Amino acid sequence: MQFRTRAIHVGQQRDPQTGAVVPPLHLASTFVQPAAGEWGRYDYSRSGNPTREALETTVASLEGGTHALAFSSGMAAVHAATMLLQSGDHIVAGADIYGGTYRLLHRICRRAGIEVTLAPGNDLQRLEDAITPATRLLWVESPGNPLLSITDLAACVEIARRHGILLGVDNTFATPVLTRPLELGADIVMHSATKYLGGHSDLLGGVLAVRDEKLRDELYFIQNATGAVMGPLECFLCSRGLKTLELRVREQCRSAQKLAEILNNDRRVRRVLYPGLPQHPGHEIAAQQMQGGFGAMLSFEVEGDFEAARRVVNSARLFQLAVSLGAVESLIEQPASMSHASYDPQDRAAHGITDSLIRLSVGLEAVEDLANDLDQALSNAL
């Protein structure tokens, strides 16, 4: 079955009891056992819940994996992946990663005795040079957040295999519509399901997808032991969102491409970071790695300083001033003061996350309205 058919049908069978075409939402926290010491299909919702399992089945299929696990947030999913490691181990992570992941790696993993080195995901030599004998996990995002840098995932698979380490890919920005890292050979795919998978800014969730039974079992053990599972209502909403994932993402990509081209020709804009523009340094790799679009996230630097960028984001009307991304509503934000405020200022500067950078999440509104809004915001602010 094609991707969009699987998004509607895999894991989402009609209810055999009632014939309802949408599987029911199971809110129960506990399930009756056949007898003391005997276990049925489900016993307690942290360990397994039919609504969560339905979502996990769909996501595993869409990512080309064998299993998926749904967590209470994207950060809980990243955290679970890092719990595969232990004190003395080392993680190499792409420098252009979500600020919350940066904070988790530096402030939580380090507390647990796990060391972290950042290296630019788009510089494979530096990424590989950062690997030490203690490295157990290579963690990358592509496109990166917020610079939209492109990491060559097939090359990362080669690096990870050469060093016998796990490769984890945060696929939140690309979505399985555009990129399926497990099919390229990655070990773990992670999503903030809060973003495109849910797609409507009405749930918090995270997902890990894998293609290896043993890895699934270890991650399941961590999930059940630590308890950060996605709630059934969120799972239900996410499953509903997934049914339109491909349509949403394809249309949002088209709008993002148009807006990137418009901003690229605007003299008030210093530079546009969008992998769909031919001058983007990762354009060639993105064209191979991302199927049928370059994503719906784009960043640009305005001519001006921190205050100028702040005025632009404050002047937008249709683009709403908010962190998060990937939903039907378009959002605008200033990474230096919002999504990436948790980076050390030196790391921010070193990795090119400048004060005048603005990040857009392009939604499903008419692209002409979005272009007009950016035009008025730039005029008002600069």
Ligand X SMILES: Cc1ncc(COP(=O)(O)O)c(C=O)c1O
Task: Report the catalytic residues.
Answer: 46, 98, 170, 195
Write phi, then psi, for 192 (nearest 5 degrees). Answer: -80, 105
Instruction: Give the SS3 label for residue 132.
Output: coil
**Cα–Cα nearest to 359, from 317, 307, 312, 294:** 312
Q: Which residue has the tokens 């007898």?
A: 35
Among 128, 170, 187, 234, binds ligand X (CB under 6 A): 170
By CB neighbour count within 10 A (0-12 exposed, 13-18 middle, 19+ buried), where does 37 fall? exposed
Instruction: Note whether 151 binds ligand X by CB under 6 A.
Output: no
Q: How far is the CB of 324 from ligand X (least distance, A)?
A: 6
The Cα–Cα gap between 108 and 100 comes to 11
Pairing between β-strand 90-94 and β-strand 135-141 as defined by DSSP bridges: parallel
Interior angle at CA 46, CA 44 and CA 47, nearest 5 = 70
Size of the site for ligand X (CB under 6 A): 16
**Using the rule CB under 6 A, is 343 a contact of ligand X?**
no
Residues 200-259 that bind ligand X (CB under 6 A): 204, 206
- The yes or no reply on residue 172 touching ligand X (CB under 6 A) is yes
Nearer to ligand X, 219 or 269 (CB): 219
Helix (H) or strand (E) holding 3: helix 3-9
Q: Which contiguous run of DSSP H or E holds residue 232?
A: helix 232-242
- 318-337 residues in contact with ligand X (CB under 6 A) are 324
Q: H/E element holding 41?
A: none
Among 67, 91, 98, 188, binds ligand X (CB under 6 A): 98
Q: Which residue has the tokens 């014939």?
A: 19
Q: Answer yes or no whether residue 23 interacts with ligand X by CB under 6 A.
A: no
The answer to whether 96 contacts ligand X (rule: CB under 6 A) is: no
**Within its chain, how far is the Cα of 48 from the centroid?**
24
**Nearest distance from C-beta of residue 176 to ligand X, angstroms:** 14
List the interface residues with ligand X, window 74-93 (CB under 6 A).
74-75
Among 145, 151, 255, 315, binds ligand X (CB under 6 A): 145
x/- site string to ligand X, residues 36 to 75, per CB under 6 A? -------------------------------------xxx
Cβ distance 229 to 52 under 8 Å?
Answer: yes
Out of 11, 65, 100, 276, the only residue in the binding site for ligand X (CB under 6 A) is 100
- When binding is defined by CB under 6 A, the residue of 61, 82, 194, 201 that contacts ligand X is 194
> How far is the C-alpha of 98 from the C-alpha of 101, rounded, in Å?
5
Which residue number, 262 or 323, has a Cβ lying nearer to ligand X?
323
Could you tell me the sign of the dihedral formed by the alpha carbons of 11, 291, 276, 356, in that order?
Answer: positive
Q: Which residue minimizes CB distance to ligand X?
A: 74
Nearest distance, CB of residue 309 and ligand X, angstroms: 19
Interface residue list for ligand X (CB under 6 A): 73-75, 98, 100-101, 141, 145, 170, 172-173, 192, 194, 204, 206, 324
